[in-house]
């Protein structure tokens, strides 16, 4: 029996069209727009102004707090301006816009391709390096990684969990990374283990990626303390809480963090970025992005510089299909629909999904028939039909006691609803209202 989390979950059609496309390096764009807020937490402070020359890897915006991250230039060239540009949040946000001239890298970056296994830095130095390199969770949540590695004194961590689940349908960027950059990733995991001071790391991979599982299983023999586990295909297994439950059968308490059960979760992409930052001194300015969709001519995985316009990726994959109805930044379950194709790729963008028109529109809404399918698929044990109703009626107290803050916004309820109700839309609204109330209560 393959491991998985015990309650709820759905299994949408996988549609992993790009699973066999090797990672290609995307040609340099003409201009990049790098948003200064690409992570959870305080936006960074721009360090450059119009006319400044920058090289690849130069710091262009500085972290403004503990929960914040540095941002580095992904290209070499001249800063055109710092202005508000429509980004993947759907709003105009401050971005550093750089005109590309050549490809000159900051001298401190080690551009050799050889694998460097020896870890020379101490744990404190590693965390500093990760902080300095602007690494955030690359699975999509974009939580600054150094925060997750700085364990408070009263907590004891005994296991590092590496998320190679990629439970979102369509996306394959982590999958390709695990096949093509497995050794680097494993060294990255060792670095993370050293930073956390743990002797055990578990890599969880869903069973729909047998090639990746086999490949890493072979390599992992040389890396003591790292284990690979195949998991049953079940969405939302990539959720931290579900993954911890599936791998080590510990339940993160409601409102708590993985820290509370002695675990830290990092994505495989993050592990790779950590390797590059610590061993090669290369800050985070590029990442693997899947460009896929049913009608896309050439579903691909690209190594993309942060700030590249989405349209560049689409061109490289054979152009925008005629029947495009929706362009999604991220996977189909949790991704965000884009309202412009000029939106820049950010650190958290694991894929761009192009949906044909016939799959772009929602089902027609009808009355709730109380079929309880939403209750049975909720991996958090909530009652989405009830939360939806309470959110519509703005019963915020009741929402809180019924656990709206436990919702991980995975979208399984809205996916399964035969009545086509926008359950998650309202639950998310209720959640944001309740979290505001909770915040104001704390003050």
Partner 1 sequence: MSATILFTIISLSAIGATAAIILYFVAQKFKVYEDPRIDQVDEILPAANCGGCGYPGCRGFAEAMVKADDLSPFYCPVGGNETMAQVAEVLGKAVEAKDPQVAVVRCSGSPTHRERINSYDGASSCAISSSLYSGETGCQFGCLGLGDCVDVCDFDAIYIDKETGLPVVVDDNCTACGACVKACPNVIIELRKKNKKDRKIFVSCVNHDKGGVAKKACKVACIGCSKCVKVCPYDAITMDNFCAFIDANKCKLCRKCATECPTNAILEINFPPKKVKPANPAEGKETPKAESKETNNNEINKKEG
Partner 2 sequence: MNKLFISPSPHVYEDTTVKRLMFDVVIALLPALLFSVYFFGMGAIIVTLTAVVSCLAFEWLIQKYILKEEPSITDGSALVTGILLAFNIPTNLPIWIIIIGSLVAIGIGKMSFGGLGNNPFNPALVGRVFMLISFPVQMTSWPVPTGFNNSYTDAVTGATPLAVMKEGIGAGESVSAIMDKIPSHMELFYGYMGGSMGEIAAAALLLGLGWMLFRKVIKIHIPLSIFVTIAVFTGILWLVNPESNADPLFHLLTGGVMLGAIFMATDYVTSPMSVKGMWIFGIGIGIITVAIRVFGAYPEGISFAILIMNAFVPLINMYIKPKRFGEEVKNG
Q: Number of residues in contact with partner 2, rule: CB under 8 A?
A: 74
Site for partner 2 in 397-416 (CB under 8 A): 403, 406, 409, 411-412, 414-416
Say which entry of partner 2, partner 1, none residue 89 contacts (CB below 5 to 8 A, set by partner kind). Answer: partner 1
Choosing from 342, 420, 435, 438, the residue that interacts with partner 2 (CB under 8 A) is 420
Give whichever of 87 and 400 is closer to partner 1, judged by the CB atom. Answer: 87
Assess 10 for contact with partner 2 (CB under 8 A): yes
Assess 382 for contact with partner 2 (CB under 8 A): yes
Q: Give the integer Cα–Cα distance in Å for 387 and 393.
A: 10
Say which entry of partner 2, partner 1, none residue 319 contacts (CB below 5 to 8 A, set by partner kind). Answer: none
Choosing from 112, 113, 367, 440, the residue that interacts with partner 2 (CB under 8 A) is 367
Say which entry of partner 1, partner 2, none residue 420 contacts (CB below 5 to 8 A, set by partner kind). Answer: partner 2
Say which entry of partner 2, partner 1, none residue 315 contacts (CB below 5 to 8 A, set by partner kind). Answer: none
What's the min distance (Å) between Cβ of 415 and partner 1? 15
What's the min distance (Å) between Cβ of 411 and partner 2? 3
Choosing from 109, 151, 337, 437, the residue that interacts with partner 2 (CB under 8 A) is 337
Assess 248 for contact with partner 2 (CB under 8 A): no
Which region, judged by CB under 8 A, interacts with partner 2, from 94-102, 263-271, 418-426, 435-443?
418-426
């Amino acid at each position: 029996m393959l491991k998985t989390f015990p309650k709820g979950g759905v299994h949408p059609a996988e549609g992993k069209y790009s699973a066999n496309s090797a990672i290609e390096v995307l040609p340099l764009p003409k201009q990049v727009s790098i948003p200064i807020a690409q992570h959870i937490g305080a936006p960074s402070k721009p360090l450059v102004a119009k006319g400044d020359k920058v090289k690849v890897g130069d710091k262009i915006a500085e972290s403004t707090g503990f929960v914040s991250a540095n941002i580095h230039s992904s290209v070499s060239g001249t800063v055109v301006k710092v202005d508000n540009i429509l980004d993947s949040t759907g709003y105009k946000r401050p971005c550093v816009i750089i005109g590309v001239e050549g490809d000159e890298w900051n001298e401190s970056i080690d551009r050799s391709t050889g694998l460097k296994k020896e870890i020379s830095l101490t744990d404190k130095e590693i965390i500093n390096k990760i902080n300095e390199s602007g690494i955030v969770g690359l699975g999509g949540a974009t939580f600054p990684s150094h925060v997750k590695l700085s364990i408070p004194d009263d907590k004891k961590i005994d296991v590092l969990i590496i998320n190679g689940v990629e439970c979102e349908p369509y996306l394959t960027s982590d999958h390709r990374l695990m096949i093509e950059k497995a050794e680097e990733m494993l060294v990255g995991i060792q670095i993370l283990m050293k930073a956390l001071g743990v002797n055990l790391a578990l890599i969880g991979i869903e069973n729909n990626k047998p090639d990746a599982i086999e490949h890493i299983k072979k390599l992992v023999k040389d890396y003591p303390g790292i284990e690979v586990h195949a998991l049953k295909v079940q969405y939302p297994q990539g959720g931290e809480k579900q993954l911890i439950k599936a791998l080590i059968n510990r339940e993160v308490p409601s409102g708590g963090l993985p820290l509370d059960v002695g675990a830290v979760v990092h994505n495989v992409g993050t592990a790779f970025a950590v390797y590059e930052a610590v061993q090669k001194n290369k800050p985070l300015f590029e990442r693997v992005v899947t460009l896929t969709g049913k009608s896309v001519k050439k579903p691909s995985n690209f190594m993309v510089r942060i700030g590249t316009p989405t349209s560049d990726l689409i061109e490289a994959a054979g152009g925008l299909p005629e029947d495009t109805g929706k362009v999604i930044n991220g996977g189909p379950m949790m991704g965000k629909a884009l309202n412009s194709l000029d939106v820049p790729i950010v650190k958290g963008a694991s894929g761009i999904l192009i949906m044909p028109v016939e799959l772009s529109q929602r089902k027609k809404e009808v009355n709730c028939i109380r079929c309880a399918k939403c209750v049975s698929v909720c991996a958090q044990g909530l009652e989405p039909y009830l939360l939806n109703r309470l959110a519509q009626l703005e019963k915020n107290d009741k929402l809180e006691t019924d656990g709206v803050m436990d919702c991980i916004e995975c979208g399984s309820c809205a996916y399964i609803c035969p009545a086509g109700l926008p359950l998650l839309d309202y639950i998310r609204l209720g959640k944001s209202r309740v979290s505001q109330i909770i915040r104001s209560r704390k003050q």
